[in-house]
Amino acid sequence: MIKLTGVEKRYGRKKILNGVTFEAGKGQITCLIGINGAGKTTILQAVMGLTPYQKGEITIDGEKLSPKMMEKITYIPDAMTLLPKMRIKDAFQFMADFYQNWNEKRAKEILNFFKLQEDERISQLSKGNTAKVNLLMGLAMDADYILMDEPFSGIDIFSREQIADVFSSHLVEDRGVIITTHEISDIEHLIDKAVLLADGVVKKEFMTEQIREDEGKSVIDVMREVYQG
Amino acid sequence: MKLFGKLVNFEFRRFLPIYISLLTIVFLIESVGVLSYSFMMKSEITESIVKHGLSKEQFLQDHGFISIGNVLSGFMFTLPIVIAAVTIFIYILFIWYRDWLGENTFIYRLLMLPVKRIQLFFSKGVTILIFVFGLIAFQVAILPALQVILKLIIPVDYRLDLTTQGLIRSFYYLKFLLPENFIDFVINYGFGTAFVIVLFTMTLIERSYRFKGIFIAAFYGISALILVFSPYILQGIMQGYFYKNELLWMQFSIAIVLSIISVFFSNHLLNRKIRV
């Protein structure tokens, strides 16, 4: 389980995260929802040790982040993190060199699923294919947790559908997924838990199925209540 | 350790195309230098003997023996050394920044590797050392080849051929880069390594604190510089109390302490303060 307790982060005088507390379990898809600037990306970066935070604690299965932990958790940012001159196959080699949990077979399976070619250069990928390669790099690792930052941001409808298909496939089965988005409609039916954020604070946290069954509300209904009063 | 080797190899391969171009430039400029000197001296020989009717002995009395040693301190050998030094210096400055500021933000990937982050620091440092030693080795290796160019153009009676050691001794910059005794070697490269470590730390300070970091990094760099030269300040106050050798060892000790502090500080920044 990924657990955040009272996490606070400031940029200068501005508080980006103001005591964020929530949990994301294994085998669940947890969605961080909020408008731009709500602190979604900062939370994921803080979990991965990519940005410092001033207060609070983040643990992964009860342990603090360490180099060893990078085999257990993987982060898929919304920007390409591979070198432009690399070909996809070079990126596979890079991952295989450094990660014991890199699953080459799965990487090739996802490559075929997305209809990408190993010889394609990173710099020549379209925005949609860049998002797919990013996703591939994270999903092809046998990691327990996957953090995804805005995987649907700025890509065409067909790529969105393909990426959304991944969430209902065996590729994320049994793993803990935290996904951030401000476009919930694409994945509303796939998520298990929603965490609504605003101004660096968790406004509401709920299990989607429970709220559907108990109150007959969709995630979007709850969002309206929280964000529009 | 295995992953550290892979990191060094990865860093090395990233700079390899520029490095190979650099070695090619060094070879080409120096070859042109030797070729133009050789042809110039050959025409001097021809002119002296054919036009002025001088004997070989008279020519040698006027000009001395023709040797590659005569051009080793010239412009065509200084220029490639300066180009190489400037390129490597720029590389030291940008070896971190390119991971943040490139077309893609590769720093995400580097910081998420399952290795201690200080290994990134050391791998970049070791890569630079490999480049520096590689460049020196290349320079030493091509000197005999360059001498062959001279041998092909100038007749043996007018020439003074040098051994490899003689070539190194005649080359001012190589004398400094490849000192004859081990202590000088340790001191020269110790200062060089300390310089790189402090520069890396300054870069990481800026990358951690951004705008505020520019001032902190500048303060850190200036303080380090003052500390390293503080024995000379002390010498001034104490009116020449220390021997030159003692001053050098004091400076060297300060540089070592500064390097150790910088490594620990960088480790702290990489683990606790760095941001993508």
Among B10, B103, B113, the residue with its CB nearest the CB of A70 is B113
Give the mean pLDDT of B254-276: 96
Nearest CB among B6, B14, B104 relative to A98 is that of B6
Highest mean pLDDT among A127-131, B133-137, B172-176: B133-137
Contact B106 A83 (CB under 8 A): yes
pLDDT at B84: 92
Residue that is last in its domain, among B176, B211, B240: B176
Interface of B with A (CB under 8 A): 3, 6, 10, 14, 102-106, 108-109, 111-117, 208, 271-276
- The answer to whether residues B95 and B142 belong to one domain is yes
> Of the candidates B119, B144, B176, which is a domain's last residue?
B176
* Run of H or E including B195: helix B182-237
Write down the pLDDT at residue A8.
Answer: 95
B135 with B217, same domain: the answer is no
Counted across chains A and B, CB pairs separated by less than 8 A come out at 68
Helix B182-237 crosses helix B75-101 at what angle (to 10 degrees)?
Answer: 80
Out of B176, B202, B222, pick the residue that ends a domain: B176
> Does B146 have pLDDT greater than 90?
yes
For strands A2-11 and A145-149, give the pairing.
Answer: unpaired
Choosing among B112, B273, B274, which should be mutated to test the A contact, i.e. which has the most A CBs within 10 A? B112
Indicate the pLDDT class of residue B254, thresholds 50, 70 and 90.
very high
pLDDT band at B74 (very low <50, low <70, confident <90, very high): confident
| Region B185-198 average pLDDT | 93
Per the structure, the complete domain to which residue B123 belongs is given by: 1-176
Inter-chain touch B111–A71, beta carbons under 8 Å: no
Sheet holding A55-60, edge to edge: A14-24, A2-11, A55-60
- Here the tokens at position A152 are 């649907």
Q: Do A49 and B6 touch (CB under 8 A)?
A: no
- Pair B231, B247: CB distance under 8 Å: yes
Residues B151, B272: one domain?
A: no
Q: How many distinct structural domains can be found in chain B? A: 2
Same-domain check for residues B190 and B255 = yes
Same domain membership, residue B130 and residue B258: no
pLDDT for A148 equals 92
Give the pairing of strands A14-24 and A73-76.
unpaired
Rounded mean pLDDT of B225-249? 90
**pLDDT tier at B10 (50, 70, 90 boundaries)?**
very high
Q: What is the pLDDT of residues A6-51, one digit of tens each?
A: 999 998 888 999 999 999 999 899 999 988 888 999 999 999 999 9
Contact indicator for B97, B210 with CB cutoff of 8 Å: no
Q: What is the structure's pLDDT at A205?
A: 93
Same domain, B189 and B129: no
B255: CB partners within 8 A, 6+ apart? B190, B191, B194, B228
Per-state percent for chain B, helix, strand, coil, to nearest 5: 85, 0, 15
> Encoding tokens for residue A177?
């997924």
Residue B120 sits in the same domain as residue B210: no
CB contact under 8 A, B14 and A97: no
pLDDT at A162 over 90: no
Residues B48, B129, single domain; the answer is yes
Residue B145: pLDDT over 80: yes
- In terms of domains, do B116 and B192 share one? no
Do residue B94 and residue B218 come from a single domain?
A: no
**Do residues B196 and B103 share a domain?**
no
Beta carbons of A84 and B103 less than 8 Å apart: yes
Residue A166 has pLDDT above 90, yes or no: no
B204 with B146, same domain: the answer is: no
What chain B residue is nearest to A77 in terms of C-alpha separation?
A: B108
Indicate which of B11, B109, B116 best probes the interface with A, i.e. most A CBs within 10 Å of its own CB.
B109
> Model confidence over B81-94: pLDDT tens digits?
999 999 999 999 88
Provide the 3-class DSSP secondary structure of residue B199.
Answer: helix
